[in-house]
């Protein structure tokens, strides 16, 4: 399964989710299908960082579309909620910062201690700490998917060379996310279903063959704000 196919799956499931929000104004099966989208986008950020030829342009592209998409996202969100949230591109942007910070910290030549193995461990721990702080910031700013979003973006990168560890860490993050909801708000079968459908895209991610597929660079970037505006004008 190529990166292009993964993006198509993510876009279709995201659109189903958003139509469900706009039409029903409450949680439905369409929202369960929508849980498939974000983990794929999160994985694509990890892959994008690894394979991009120009990291500065990648950062700039995510930032620009986070800004461009905010008004369409706010208009769309007004159909079913009054709360303010930063759109998913902001989450992806912060996730990319977390990966970048970890990568630079672990690969710096500066030594924390004389023991090389301990030196690397301290750098990795500090890099993880920075990623956690960025996740907390995303949660405080009320970015879409918040801390959970940054966490899975970071874990997809951290375990990019160990598929089993990537799967286990992702499933653990999903269980913790919805488990905490059950602890805070009480048992609800809906949280179980949300957890299952959020875990589901790991199947598609594991089928990824490392190839790009069709090169439609700005397809996802343009699709996000455009489909939000279309949904808004249909259901306003």
Q: Across the 236 residues of the chain, what is the mean pLDDT of every consecutive 10-residue run?
A: 93 96 88 96 95 93 96 95 94 97 81 64 86 96 96 96 95 94 88 95 94 80 95 93
Q: What is the pLDDT of residue 123?
A: 78
Task: For residue 57, report the phi and psi dihedrals to the nearest 5 degrees.
Answer: -65, -35
Whether the pTM exceeds 0.75: the reply is yes
pLDDT tens by residue, 72-91: 999 999 999 888 999 999 99
Query: What per-residue confidence (pLDDT) applies to 41?
Result: 96
Q: Which residues pair with 86 in a beta bridge?
A: 143
Q: Which pLDDT tens digit goes with each residue over 90-139?
A: 999 999 999 999 998 887 666 555 666 776 778 788 889 999 999 999 99
Distance between CA atoms of residues 159 and 205, nearest Å:
13
Q: What is the pLDDT of residue 12?
A: 96
| Look-up of token digits 């907390």 | 136
In whole angstroms, how far apart are CA 30 and each of 27, 42, 54, 233? 8, 20, 37, 20
Rounded to whole angstroms, how far apart are CA atoms 164 and 185? Answer: 32
DSSP symbol at 214:
S
Three-state secondary structure of 121-152 = HHHHHHHHHHHHHHHHHHHHCCECCHHHHHHH
Count the alpha carbons within 13 Å of 118 in the hemisphere toward its beta carbon. 4
């Amino acid at each position: 399964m190529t990166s292009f196919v993964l993006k198509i799956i993510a876009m279709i499931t995201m659109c189903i989710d958003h139509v469900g929000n706009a039409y029903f104004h409450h949680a439905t099966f369409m929202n369960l299908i929508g849980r498939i989208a974000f983990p794929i986008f999160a994985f694509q950020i990890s892959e994008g960082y690894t394979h991009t030829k120009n990291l500065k342009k990648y950062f700039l592209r995510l930032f620009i579309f986070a800004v461009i998409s905010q008004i369409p996202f706010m208009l769309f969100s007004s159909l079913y909620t009054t709360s303010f949230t930063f759109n998913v591109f902001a989450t992806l942007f912060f996730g990319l910062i977390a990966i970048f910070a970890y990568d630079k910290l672990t690969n710096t030549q500066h030594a924390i201690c004389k023991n090389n193995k301990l030196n690397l461990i301290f750098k990795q721990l500090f890099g993880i700490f920075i990623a956690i702080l960025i996740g907390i910031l995303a949660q405080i700013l009320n970015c879409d998917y918040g801390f959970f979003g940054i966490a899975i973006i970071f874990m997809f990168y951290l375990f990019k060379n160990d598929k089993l560890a990537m799967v286990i860490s992702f499933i653990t993050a999903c269980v913790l996310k919805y488990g905490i909801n059950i602890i805070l708000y009480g048992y609800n079968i809906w949280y179980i279903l949300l957890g299952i459908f959020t875990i589901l895209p790991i199947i598609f991610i594991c089928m990824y063959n490392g190839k790009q597929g069709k090169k439609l660079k700005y397809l996802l970037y343009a699709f996000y704000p455009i489909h939000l505006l279309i949904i808004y004008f249909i259901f306003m």
